[in-house]
Amino acid sequence: MHELSIALNLVEIVDEAARRAGAERVVVVHLRLGAMSGVVQEALEFCFPLATEGTLVEGARLEIERVPLVVACASCERDVQPAEGSFRCPLCGALSMLIRQGRELEVTGIEVPDPEPAMEEP
Ligand SMILES: [Zn+2]
């Protein structure tokens, strides 16, 4: 399954980051998931616990933040949200659009049992 290899990959990244930070365990993994990432959220949530077995991430909760698809219309230059599966601008009908957001598949943070959060961006 596609999502299992993604889950394994995410767990590997988090496990490594946690080890580097000297953490013994990870309790929460925060993930941003774009509507166009090609990942089925339910499948990822199902695979995640399997992927964490034997790592520092075992038993951690996966917190997913959904990122809606936003595209910029190349014709009318406005940010629009087209209907699902459509690349036609709902405002002017043009077909050429640039994806601004919605492809995200990234770990934005991890939480360890210590009250200090580990991977915080400065
Ligand atoms: Zn447009």
Which element (helix H / strand E) includes 14? helix 2-20
Question: Ligand 1 centroid vs 88 CA: distance in angstroms?
Answer: 8
Q: Which CATH architecture has domain 2-67+102-111?
A: 2-Layer Sandwich (3.30)
Express each pLDDT in 27-51 by its tens digit: 999 999 999 899 999 999 999 999 9
What is the 90 CA–ligand 1 centroid distance (Å)? 7
pLDDT tier, 22 (very low <50, low <70, confident <90, very high otherwise): very high
DSSP string, 31-80: EEEETTSS--HHHHHHHHHHHTTTSTTTT-EEEEEEE--EEEETTT--EE
Dist. CA 85 → ligand 1 center (Å): 16
Name the 3-class secondary structure at 3.
Answer: helix
Integer angstrom CA distances of residue 73 from 19, 83, 85, 101, 104: 43, 13, 15, 13, 19
- With a CB cutoff of 8 Å and minimum separation 6, the contacts of 101 are 34, 67, 68, 69, 70
Tens digit of pLDDT for each residue in 64-95? 999 998 889 989 999 998 877 777 898 999 98
User: Confidence band (pLDDT; 50, 70, 90) for 117?
Assistant: low
Nearest partner of 35 among 80, 101, 79, 107, judged by Cα:
101
Measured in Å, residue 92 CA sits from the centre of ligand 1 at 4
